[in-house]
Amino acid sequence: MSGLIRLGASKLDLGFQPAEHLDSQDLQQDRMASDNGMSQKSLGFVSVRHRMDQGYFGGYLLVNSVARPLEFHCTVPVQPTRAQTILFGPTLEEFLCGEQIARALLSRAKLQPQVVLVDSPAVLCVRHWIDLPILCICKSHPASNSNDGSQLPAEHGFHCPSYQRNPSQYVERCIEDYKLSCLDSYRSDLEAIEWILESHTIDLDLQEPFERIVEALAEAHPRTKAA
């Protein structure tokens, strides 16, 4: 992959070695978790977006029970080489979005949320490396027939990854206006929905934090005039 994943001052090599084996150093101003926030129950949101001319970008936002930010991390763009695009084939987006970008973001966070929500099925495979409930969220009655966040309009030139596994590899549950799904091999992650209900987190707009992430990514990586 060209470039590095950068979280604040941290740089995580996107070769094939696991990101957690690399040394890094976080800038204090790049996270908003206070000593008081460390004891709060939190909810995580991970979004990965793609720009054709720049590559894949990832953002991770943790919020408290009233949706105020506790911690935020984002990456620099990750652009696969032509050879990697050929060799990974249709599995490339899942590798980039879940195994590389989301894994790096979640590994560097200081807080551990009760559950992490993602807006693309391509990110769900991060569950193989992260011991936290990971759920993909979308509207239960979207405007299109899409099963993921790809029905959202492109903003700032960003597009939601389109990769999906075979539907038989997901389990899902609908609550209120949302459809929540996870990998079938981690179907117990759906139990986290009970916490979402009991903590009244369901009363929040659970897709709005993804909009904040996209805006933050656009602010950090504005489009060039040529784009």
Give residue-wise pLDDT tens across range 1-44.
544 444 443 333 333 323 332 223 333 334 454 444 445 789 99
As given in the structure block, the two tokens for residue 22 are 């690399």
Query: d(Cα 109, Cα 7) in Å, to the nearest integer?
Result: 10
Per-residue pLDDT tens for 158-198? 899 988 899 999 999 999 899 999 999 999 999 999 999 99
Residue of 11, 48, 30 lying closest to 217 (CA atoms) = 48
Q: What is the pTM of this model?
A: 0.80
User: 165, exposed or middle or buried, with CB in 10 Å at 0-12, 13-18, 19+?
Assistant: middle
Distance (Å, whole) CA 44 – CA 62: 4
Q: Which residues contact 105 (CB under 8 A, 6 or more apart)?
A: 7, 46, 58, 59, 60, 73, 74, 75
Confidence (pLDDT) at 224: 59
The domain locations on the chain are 4-220
Report domain 4-220's class: alpha beta
pLDDT higher for 202 or 171?
A: 171
Q: What is the pLDDT of residues 120-154, one digit of tens each?
A: 999 999 999 999 999 999 988 765 444 444 444 56
Mapped onto helix, strand or coil, the DSSP state of residue 35 is coil
